[in-house]
Copies of this chain bind each other. A is one copy, B any other.
Amino acid sequence: MTTKTNPGNFFEDFSLGQEIVHATPRTVTEGDTALYTALYGSRFAAPSSDMFAMSLGYEGAPVDDLLVFHVVFGKSVPDISLNAVANLGYAAGRFGGAVYAGDTLRAVSRVIGLKENSNGKTGVVYVHTVGLNQRDEPVLEYVRWVMVNKKDPASPAPEPVIPDLDPFVGEKELMVPEGLDLSSYDTALSGSDLMWGDYEVGDRIDHVDGMTIEEAEHMMATRLYQNTAKVHFNQHTQGQGRFGRRIVYGGHVISLARSLSFNGLANAFHIAAINGGSHVNPTFAGDTIYAWSEVLGKLSVPGRDDLGALRLRTVATKVQNCASFPDRDGNGKPDPAMVLELDYAVLIPK
């Protein structure tokens, strides 16, 4: 009699170039988008309204970009990070065509880098993950790297390969969802008249509001994404662990920060790229999340004069508001209130 359960992959189970088809394809529905609204209170007009979205050239309200991200990411967890010691980083995240309610998403990952750590007990695995819809069109791709346990410290180390990753997605690689035309963009309905031209590199925006997280909320979110990482769900074991608490899925904090960023970035209607991110400190239920953003760059989108992109860095903090823009100090040491920094690009009308 065999175990019959999935133990997850260990460092030795990964090989360079290996392709992993992730299980449980997922039809994203209006039910998922309603839950997303209930969990984060997002007010961006396009994902909220079929009519507004169609006025921009969408077929209907697009599924929130981060909901797409969480679903695709969740698919990869049982294969990539079930035995992960740490989620080390993201890069080269790029959204493709719009996702609509009714679309079915699946995910495939390819191993693009491997490096055993000098302790011989763990290694770093780099994967390139693609989310595809039912027509096999990419809706999202990104690279992430995780530190994974070895099954056996004695097993030989693979040839180290570290992929060469750009620090951010350049303006030529940003994809604009098909059919968009922002010429009749309605700033009364969108909630702000601040357009691309109103933002300058170096602008810092305090998003003002704070949102307290409950256990039921982050667990419902993380299950909605079919993300199986154990640390989010099991108080029985977590209570005996380092923090004594369940840890909130980092993506939950990303979505909260994005939702809070509406106040100051209401016209940033689409996330086009995720350049990188870091979960600086763990977040727990009971924490109140605040956020602020900095404009890192202004990007032109080739062939478009109705929209541009902003490269943003959004910082989320816990149990401290962002009026003073808590940040890393001169040595790169993060303010202890910081829980997230995310480097990403948004589309915004001109």
Contacts and interface: CB of A to CB of B under 8 A. Distances in A.
Interface string A180-216: 0000000011111010001110111111111110111
A117 interface: no
A234 B208 contact: no
Interface stretch (A21-29, A137-145, A274-282, A328-336): A21-29
Interface string A197-239: 0111011111111111011110111111010101001111100
A85 interface: no
Contacts of A87: none
Given A5-B263, A214-B215, A221 B27 contact: no
A31 interface: yes
B33 A35 contact: no
- Interface size class on chain A is 35 or more
Contact of A286 (B3, B24, B204, B235): B235
A6 interface: yes
A45 B24 contact: yes
Contacts of A27: 48-51, 61
A9 interface: no
Given A37-B223, A52-B25, A209 B191 contact: no
Interface string A7-30: 000000000000001011111011
Nearest to A246: B212
Contacts of A212: 215, 219, 233-236, 246
What is the copy number of this chain in the assembly?
3
Given A24-B49, A34-B29, A234 B205 contact: no
Contacts of A188: 21, 23
A39 interface: yes
Interface-central residue, A6, A37, A191, A286, by most chain B CB under 10 Å: A37
Contacts of A228: 41, 43, 209
A172 interface: no
Interface-central residue, A198, A199, A236, by most chain B CB under 10 Å: A236
A266 interface: yes
B236 A288 contact: yes
B5 A206 contact: yes
Nearest to A27: B50
Contacts of A199: 4
B200 A1 contact: yes
A33 B29 contact: yes
Given A41-B223, A50-B27, A236-B319, A4 B264 contact: yes
A283 to B, nearest CB: 13
A34 B37 contact: no
Interface of A: 1, 3-6, 21, 23-27, 29-35, 37-45, 48-52, 61, 78, 101-102, 104, 106, 134, 188-192, 194, 198-200, 202-212, 214-217, 219-224, 226, 228, 230, 233-237, 246, 263-266, 286, 288, 319, 321
